[in-house]
Copies of this chain bind each other. A is one copy, B any other.
Amino acid sequence: MSRALITDARPWGGPARDVRIVDGTIAEILPVGTPPQTGETVIDGRGRILLPSFADVHVHLDSTRIGLPFRPHTGTPGVWGMMLNDRANWRDAGVPIAERTTETLARMIAHGTTSVRSYAQVDVDAGLERLDGVLAAKDAHRDRATVEVIAFPQAGLLREEGSVELLEEAMRQGADVVGGIDPCMLDRDPVRHLDLVFGLAERYDAPIDIHLHEPDQLAKFSAELIVERTRALGMTGRVTISHGYGLGQLPREQLVPLLEQFAELDIAWATIAPSTPLPTLLLAEHGIRLGLGEDGQRDYWTPYGNADMLDRTWQMAFTNNFRRDEDIEHCVAVATVGGRSVLGTAPALNGRLDRPGVAEGDRADLQLVTGETVTSAVMDRLPDRTVLFGGAVVADGLELTGAA
Contact = CB atoms under 8 A, between A and B. Distances in A.
Interface of A: 69-70, 72-73, 75, 275-277, 298, 302-304, 306, 315, 318-321, 323-325, 328, 371-373, 375-376, 379-380
A328 B303 contact: yes
A70 B328 CA distance: 14
Given A69-B372, A303-B328, A379-B306, A323 B75 contact: yes
A306 B380 contact: yes
B275 A321 contact: yes
B302 A375 contact: no
Given A275-B318, A318-B304, A375 B72 contact: yes
3 smallest CB-CB distances across A and B, nearest first, come from: A70-B376, A73-B323, A70-B372
A72 B324 contact: yes
Given A303-B375, A376-B303, A319 B70 contact: no
Contacts of A323: 73, 75, 302-304
A379 B306 CA distance: 8
Nearest to A275: B319
A298 B321 CA distance: 14
A356 to B, nearest CB: 20
The winner among A70, A306, A328 for most chain B CB atoms within 10 A is: A70
8 contacts: A70-B371, A70-B376, A72-B375, A73-B375, A275-B318, A298-B379, A303-B376, A304-B318
Nearest to A375: B303
Contacts of A321: 275
A280 to B, nearest CB: 13
